[in-house]
Amino acid sequence: MCGIAGLWRFKDRDPDDTQRLVRMASTLDHRGPDDRGYLFLETATGQHRLTRDEETGQAANLLLAHRRLSIIDVSTDGWQPMHNETGDLFLVFNGELYNYVELRTELQALGHTFASRSDSEVILHAYEAWGVDCCTRFNGMWAYVLWDQRSRKLICSRDRFGIKPFFHAMRNDRFLFGSEIKAVLAGLDEGARPDPAMIANFLIPAWRPRNDLVFFQGVDELPPAHQLVVTEQGARQHRYWNYDHQSEPYDYHDPEGTFRALFADSVRLRLRADVPVSILLSGGLDSTAIAAFASAPNEARRMKAFTSINPGSRFDEQATAGQTAARFHLEHFTVNYNPESLIQDMADITRSQDLPPFSTQVLPRWQLLRKVAEHGKVVLEGQGADELLGGYVSLHIFPYLRDEVSACQPLRIRAFLRQMHHAWTMLNPNLHGHANWMRPFAYYRNMHHIRNRARAMLCPDLARMHHPGLPETPDPPRLPDHLARALHRDHAVLLLPALLRFGDSISMAHSVESRLPFMDYRLVEFTFGLSYAWKIQDGWSKAILRRSLAPELPDAIRTDRVKVGFTAPVSQWLRPWIQEAIEPLLLGPGSRTRDLYQDRTLEKLLDDCRNDDWRAIAILFRALGLELWFREYLSPGGA
């Protein structure tokens, strides 16, 4: 995993481009502290220079930069920018190809020879053998840029789910790209220009997260499962994969056996590294499943596991995670979030992800990854399981019930509602005897209150820029039922893209690579092809995971109906900072965002937060994050 940046000037040459590239790359130092490299190439002739030295550039119109986090083939053989034997293909690559061993064997059989053991070199030979869409053979996470001197085109590729980021900007005379928005901004002459519509959408929170997470005008994000081919005549973008693809003939006659085999192989591939691999461990089903399959091949060397804890909360998973760690012989570390650095943490998080934090859960994750970085630089985690397997049952009641009604299954509907009632009674005993399966409506009622208050606080011109609708589903795939379509929206549009963005930025801010076994494309293809009943069954979420992995999972975790998640005591964390830091930031003479709000609305919000109004706290968290974002990216008066 690394950081990449570059620019291609189509017409005139600019002698300042060398330092422009260095500025772009230096914003990514945290993504690749182990090595650095540059390519300076004249596209008209192919003349080029590869160097580590920032001061030895040459007159060129194509400039590529790389920052390396060494994980596979940590020798200098894996140095980038990398080129092929004939010197007419050049690559900068961020990510991992987990099936690089199998691909290399296949390519060697076709006559290709390799100078390294790196997965990066596999991309070059794969392109030579199979062309632009060679990425359809890749199992991994990636964002790469490949220059083909023969056809004089730049191929930009992003993995199927957008685990690795890729941002770009096209101007009349040049194309720029980077692993983070800040890298692109560093290469633009006009500087940062905030997008008012995105600011309005952020301050008036959506019912669920959105995937349009670029807060700057003039900067674009390459969508997941897309490639962008750039030439001097322009750029063409195309999709190379979708959720209804079946890359191989999966055995749907034995769903449990197929799911188990695919998951086991996904974990096996994601253990490939020349450095130690650890685990983010909660007390839940997903990380426990990963621990079960990851620890078995590593019995001789105890894997490290890291857990974010919340002592005193009835949702704290420290005890359960500890039992899992003991069962699988993991060396266990716990991190209890320390709010003494909350303001600085929020500023650092904002800088790392180029946008203000959407959720308080990024705060404990920030300190957890800092702990992981003290012990290594690769970690497995369970991101993507909920959106794949129906983990948020309360959000999917209605599509699930539509499927059951369509299938004429009244007994299963009754069993589902009974299980949902029991699960929510366990979550909140005070609700016993009430219609607990209606709990989702409480969430929407609270969100309605927060949205209305946030909208009323904003100046009318900004409030009018808010787009309440959800983003469109791009290229909707053909999926088997209502639940699959709802899960696809979560996986591709609403929930997961934001979680992946935050996950990558926070882990890479600490020079840690996060690997996601539930995001193996084969597992995703197979599971989206399954009937709804294999995901939610009689009120149980993730039914196929519970059933197919039953021999490995502790009974207490496998039979736990309640999805807990990490519950952050945000009111307890924020209130002590109101007088000391938050009020001066939002209301003081140096405030960058006060003019976005109507008179006295921020003062009233702060008063309500002091009185422990949790809905006011939710609004305050975003207001504080936006203020820190303005201070990081926009000069006074620049908005």
In this prediction, residue 560 has a pLDDT band, given cuts at 50, 70 and 90, of confident
**How far is residue 498 from each of residues 221, 385, 509, 528, measured CA to CA in Å?**
13, 15, 17, 20
Which of residues 467 and 443 earns the better pLDDT score?
467
Amino acid at residue number 503: G
Query: What pLDDT shows up at residue 230?
Result: 98
> Can you give the pLDDT at residue 430?
41
| pLDDT at residue 298 in the model | 62
Q: Is 539 left (phi over 0), alpha (psi -120 to 50) or beta?
A: left
What is the distance between the alpha carbons of residues 534 and 465, in angstroms, rounded to a whole number?
42
pLDDT in tens, 336-352: 999 999 999 999 999 99
Give the model's pLDDT for residue 432.
Answer: 37
Token code pair at residue 454: 């946030």
pLDDT tens track for 570-624 = 888 999 999 999 999 999 999 999 999 999 999 999 999 999 899 999 999 999 9
Query: Is the pLDDT at 431 greater than 50, yes or no?
Result: no
Q: Is the pLDDT at 434 greater than 50, yes or no?
A: no
For residues 562 and 272, which has the higher predicted lDDT (pLDDT)? 272
The third-level CATH classification (topology) of the domain covering 2-239 is Glutamine Phosphoribosylpyrophosphate, subunit 1, domain 1 (3.60.20)
pLDDT of residue 435: 40
Q: Does 40 have pLDDT greater than 50?
A: yes
Mean pLDDT (the chain, rounded): 89
What is the reported pLDDT for 639? 45
Helix and strand element counts for the chain (H, E): 25, 18
Least confident range from 22-31, 206-215, 249-258, 358-367: namely: 206-215
Structure-block tokens of residue 545: 């995971």
> What pLDDT does residue 283 have?
85
Q: Does the pLDDT of residue 285 top 90, yes or no? A: yes
- The pLDDT value given to residue 89: 98
Region(s) of the chain under CATH 3.40.50.620: 256-389+480-558
pLDDT of residue 638: 46
pLDDT tens sequence across 160-204: 999 999 999 999 889 999 999 999 999 998 878 899 999 999 999
The whole-number pLDDT of residue 582 equals 97
* Phi, psi (degrees; rounded to nearest 5) at 435: -80, 75
Residue 405 has pLDDT above 70, yes or no: no
Q: How confident is the model at residue 440 (pLDDT cuts 50, 70, 90)?
A: low
3-class DSSP string for 130-176: HCHHHHHHCCEEEEEEEEECCCCEEEEEECCCCCCCCEEEEECCEEE
CATH superfamily of 256-389+480-558: HUPs (3.40.50.620)
Q: Would the pLDDT of 273 be above 90?
A: yes
CA distances from 15 to 20, 75, 122, 343 (A): 9, 33, 34, 41
Q: In which band, very low, low, confident or very high, does the pLDDT at 426 lie, cut at 50, 70 and 90?
A: very low
Task: Write out pLDDT tens, residues 110-129.
Answer: 999 999 999 999 999 999 99
Please give the C-alpha separations between residue 72 and each of 200, 408, 506, 513, in angstroms, as whole numbers. 43, 52, 21, 12
**Predicted local confidence at residue 482, as pLDDT:** 83
Report the alpha-carbon distance of residue 44 to residue 62 in Å, rounded: 10
* CATH 3.60.20.10-classified regions of the chain: 2-239
Residues 470-503: tens digit of each pLDDT: 667 777 898 888 888 889 989 998 889 999 999 9
What is the per-residue pLDDT for 205?
82
